[in-house]
């Protein structure tokens, strides 16, 4: 049952991530748009995990589905890494550094703020 909880949550999180990138896609700036979608997904997943972890879960399977599954499927560290590398490969070191810095700072801030707000 734990495996099923993680699998279903992960599938849902992955579908959310794909839907977000479809909504933000623009043909004129594909790398910038893709990076914005990844940044938004990572920050949103960080905020969601902050809220989810602020209180104990009545059911460990629900926690597995939401935290490990949904948040894990929705956030995209591998995509983030690939997009940062693409900025570097195009010689856009400043954009790469800004993207990495914004991703880390905003995601950590979102997790901390969401945890603090939900923990009250």
pLDDT 10s digits, 36-83: 888 889 999 999 998 988 888 888 899 999 999 999 999 988 778 888
DSSP reduced 3-state for 56: coil
The answer to whether 46 touches 108, Cβ cutoff 8 Å, is: yes
Tokens of 66: 């939401």
pLDDT in tens, 84-93: 998 999 999 9
The pLDDT value given to residue 116: 94
In terms of residue numbers, what domain contains 20?
A: 2-119
Number of domains in the chain: 1
In angstroms, rounded to a whole number, what is the distance separating the alpha carbons of residues 36 and 74?
14
pTM, to two decimals = 0.79
In angstroms, rounded to a whole number, what is the distance separating the alpha carbons of residues 116 and 98?
26
**Average pLDDT for residues 14-28, to the nearest whole number?**
84
């Amino acid at each position: 049952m734990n495996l099923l909880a993680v699998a279903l949550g992960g599938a849902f999180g992955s579908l959310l991530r794909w839907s977000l990138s479809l909504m933000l896609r623009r043909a004129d700036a594909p790398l910038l748009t893709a990076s914005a979608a990844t940044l938004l997904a990572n920050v949103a997943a960080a905020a969601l995990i902050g809220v989810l972890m602020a209180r104990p879960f009545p059911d460990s399977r629900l926690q597995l589905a939401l935290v490990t599954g949904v948040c894990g499927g929705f956030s995209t560290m591998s995509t983030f890494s690939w997009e940062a590398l693409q900025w570097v490969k195009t010689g856009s070191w400043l954009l790469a550094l800004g993207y990495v810095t914004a991703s880390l700072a905003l995601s950590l801030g979102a997790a901390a703020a969401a945890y603090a707000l939900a923990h009250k």
